[in-house]
Chains A and B, each alone.
Chain A
Amino acid sequence: MSRTLYDKLWDAHVVRDLGDGQALIYIDRHLVHEVSSPQAFAALRAKSLPLRRADTHFAVADHAIPTLREGGVIEDPMAAAQIAELEDNAHAFAVPYAAPDSAGQGIVHVIGPETGFTLPGTTIVCGDSHTTTHGAFGALAFGIGASECGTVMAAQVLRQTKAKTMRVTFTGALPRGVYAKDMALALIAQIGANGAAGHSVELAGEAVRALDMAGRMTLCNMMIEAGSRVGLIAPDAVTFAYVKGRKGAPQGADWDAALAYWRTLSSNDDAVFDREVVLDISTLTPRVSWGTSPDENCGIDEAVPDNAPSLAYMGLTGGQAIAGTPISHVFIGSCTNGRIEDLRAAAAVLKGRQVADGVTALIVPGSTATRALAEAEGLEAIFLAAGCQWRQAGCSMCVAMNNDRLGPGDRCASTSNRNFEGRQGKGGRTHLVSPAMAAAAAVTGHLCDVRELMA
């Protein structure tokens, strides 16, 4: 029978068919962070239930952790308490844990792939909606609530409703100065913030095959912003080369057996999708969001709509060109664009340039390992010379729950994924862009077309 990649991953994890389109799905991997896990661990304790398979979980603090923390010292008492609770729970239930000052620390969706915890063909969950990221490896990965985190800990399965299938085929080649982030934003603008609801989205086509794993992760990461819990890319030679040799990757005979299986993980040629979308990217321009929903974005060479309710919050005038809008902050980081490839793209623009007067530019690596690599490559030196702040790994200014946040009226060119009202701080205004575009905004002090800075 002809099956999509999603069908194959689903079928391989059905513990019990429950009818009505529902099944009990086995969970191979669970990423645990400080915000969505306390209540789940508390539920285990309250029910006196053991944690079923400790080795399938990995715990780390990323959301609440400050990005200024010399020696791992966390000053905010509430954040410190939340992180201490994670550490206590990890120890009590024997869950592998990366401490704040350890080399393994980072954003869940960055360290999962980096360490080989994320593998093709697995099911991966996390109490975090951007778990879609791991679909870039051909894994069935989706975000869950805290109650479900408790279910996974106790039972290693979840009751799930099978999604419909959508395939998005990107054709053409990415123009210079245009990135996976722009592909994601363009797709979301086309289909809407709720456009993929109820669907698993397989990203396909020559333009996707041409992306490195970082770009693929950026693309899958953003699928939740189109309303989909699942983004998928069939694993290929690029995927296998990335995974091979990582700490959690299978070794020796295991590797050969795994590889043989992973090679079967693609949609059959005659597989039928419930929906097909085709997007030609050969004339795509850098994108920038202008509103408070991720689908409210346009090309940097375009004007904002004449009328949209979110323009008032954003402090923009209907019909104005988006380019030239002055910014006060730049944030380069997050699980969307906090990888070494993203930092390299930003550094290429910042090299030999200065951050404009009055602009605060935060560069926050997605993991401590990424930070070390960036320092070894000399990127840190470029950022510091340009006048950027170089921080420790964490979610940082993607989410206004640690010390990094916008104040009312601040305007930020941000490589994160959500431009929601207040997402980066109460009254803050977010413009979603690629790392190169964020770097360009940093040096000019306004939203601008990065291609004009590329020789």
Chain B
Amino acid sequence: MSNPPFTNFASIAAPLPDDNIDTDIIFPARFLLITAKHGLGDYAFYDRRHGPDGARDPGHVLNQARFDTARVLVTGANFGCGSSREQAVWALAGLGIRAIIAPSFGEIFAGNALRNGVLPIVQPATIMAEMLRLAGEGAIFSVDLSAETLSVDGLPQVQFSIAAEAKAALLNGWDETDQIIHNFAADIAAFEQQQRATMPWLYRGNATQ
């Protein structure tokens, strides 16, 4: 389904400094039994946000009232590595997160994020320590997708980059499936005709039953 168009915004940012925050941490597997994609925000980082007794840990950044309105996460390298579960993105989106800043991302996660209107922003590790510190101090982060700029109170404005197609999709709220069917139906049919002629064994029906 299409997303609302991505608009420029400014907000405080929640700092999560660890590297290698995987999708099992972002969305623990037992909640994968839920088949809905909305309303998953409560499960984001569940096991980090709750103690062994199930009580909310007031020490966790995402449990602190001052970060309730954060629309940005500032985090460590390889964020979203591991499982392909899109629930990780749906849960973050459910918390209201619209952009995530990290030195690098798990690839499947980054693609999933873009498809759900969440912008992954890669910044060099050298600048991340400052961003984490400023996020912790409540600095305002301003994201301008059209200009591909990120402004943080207390830092010079920085650029980020994004593939042209992904940017257009975000700005317009396009749905990838709809776009492909609308624009490339003839190409797909032509490919199938050619492949069926050269590799007919791929078109003999499903023999594995």
Stretch of B25-33, B91-99, B132-140, B144-152 with 4 or more beta carbons under 8 angstroms from chain A: B25-33
B108 pairs with A229, CB closer than 8 A? yes
Closest B residue, CB atoms, query A128: B84
| Separation of A81 and B206 alpha carbons in the complex (Å) | 27
Contact A159 B107 (CB under 8 A): no
Which A residues are in CB contact (< 8 Å) with B20?
193-194, 292-293
Identify which of A20, A26, A55, A127 contacts B206 (C-beta below 8 A). A55
B187 touches A420 (CB 8 A): no
Q: Is A248 on the interface with B (CB-CB < 8 A)?
A: yes
Assuming the A-B contacts A198-B107, A401-B33, A408-B52, are A147 and B202 also in contact, with contact meaning beta carbons closer than 8 angstroms in the complex?
no
| Interface locus among A41-49, A281-289, A377-385 | A41-49
The residue on A at minimum CB distance from B163 is A20
Q: For residue A159, which residues in chain B have a CB less than 8 angstroms away from its CB?
A: 165, 176, 180
Cβ of B208 within 8 Å of any chain A Cβ, yes or no, is yes
B26 to chain A, nearest CB (A): 11
B75 part of interface (Cβ distance < 8 Å): no
Q: Are B78 and A194 in contact (CB under 8 A)?
A: yes
A260, B5: Cα distance in complex, Å: 49
With a CB–CB cut-off of 8 A, which chain A residues contact B32?
Answer: 35, 63-64, 401
Q: Which of A24, A49, A79 has the most CB of B within 10 A?
A: A24
Interface residues of B in 55-86 (CB under 8 A from A): 77-78, 81-86
Does A244 have its Cβ within 8 Å of any Cβ on chain B?
Answer: no
Which chain B positions have C-beta within 8 A of A250? 201, 204
- A interface residues, how many (CB within 8 angstroms): 83
**Residue B126 is within 8 A (CB to CB) of chain A in the complex:** no
Residues of A within 8 A of B200 (CB): 254, 257
Interface positions, chain B 97-121, Cβ under 8 Å from A, are 104, 106-108, 111-112, 115-116
Q: Which interface residue of A119, A405, A420 has the most chain B CB atoms within 10 A?
A: A420
Task: Identify A399's interface contact among B29, B37, B188, B206, CB under 8 A.
Answer: B29
Q: Does B129 make an interface contact (CB < 8 A)?
A: no
B115 and A422 contacting across the interface, CB-CB below 8 Å: no
Q: Which of B35, B78, B188, B209 contacts A85 (CB 8 A)?
A: B35
Q: Are A43 and B1 in contact (CB under 8 A)?
A: yes
Produce 1/0 per residue, A257-271, CB < 8 A to B. 110010000000000
Mark out the residues of chain A between 90 and 105 whose CB falls within 8 Å of any chain B CB in the assembled complex. 96, 104
- Report B193 CB to chain A, min CB distance, Å: 12
Q: A127-B84, A157-B184, A261-B199 are in contact. Are A145 and B177 (CB under 8 A)?
A: no
Task: Tell me if A161 counts as interface (CB < 8 A to partner B).
Answer: yes
* A400 sits at the interface (CB 8 A): yes
Whether B195 sits at the interface, judged by CB under 8 Å, is yes
A109 CB, nearest partner CB in chain B, Å: 13
Give A286-298 as 1s and 0s: 1 = Cβ < 8 Å from B's Cβ atoms.
0000001100000
CB distance from A448 to the nearest CB of B (A): 28
Residues of A within 8 A of B195 (CB): 26
Question: Nearest-CB distance from A396 to chain B (Å)?
Answer: 12
| Bound CA span A261–B35, Å | 41
Binary B-proximity of A411-453 (CB < 8 A = 1, otherwise 0): 0000000101111001100000000000000000000000000
Within the complex, what minimum Cβ distance (angstroms) separates B9 from chain A? Answer: 23
Q: Are B86 and A79 in contact (CB under 8 A)?
A: no
Residue of B nearest to A55 (CB): B206
Which residue from B82, B115, B188, B202 sits with its C-beta under 8 Å from A420?
B82
Chain B residues with a Cβ under 8 A of chain A: 1, 18, 20, 22, 24-25, 28-30, 32-35, 37, 47, 52, 77-78, 81-86, 89, 104, 106-108, 111-112, 115-116, 163-165, 176-178, 180-181, 184, 187-188, 191-192, 195, 199-202, 204-209
Rank and list the top 5 A-B pairs by shortest CB-CB distance, nearest first: A250-B201, A145-B112, A38-B35, A401-B29, A115-B208
Q: A24-B180, A145-B86, A423-B24 are in contact. List 20 more A-B contacts (CB 8 A).
A: A16-B187, A24-B184, A24-B188, A55-B205, A55-B206, A58-B206, A79-B33, A96-B208, A116-B207, A129-B83, A148-B176, A154-B177, A159-B165, A161-B163, A248-B206, A250-B201, A258-B199, A261-B199, A420-B82, A427-B52
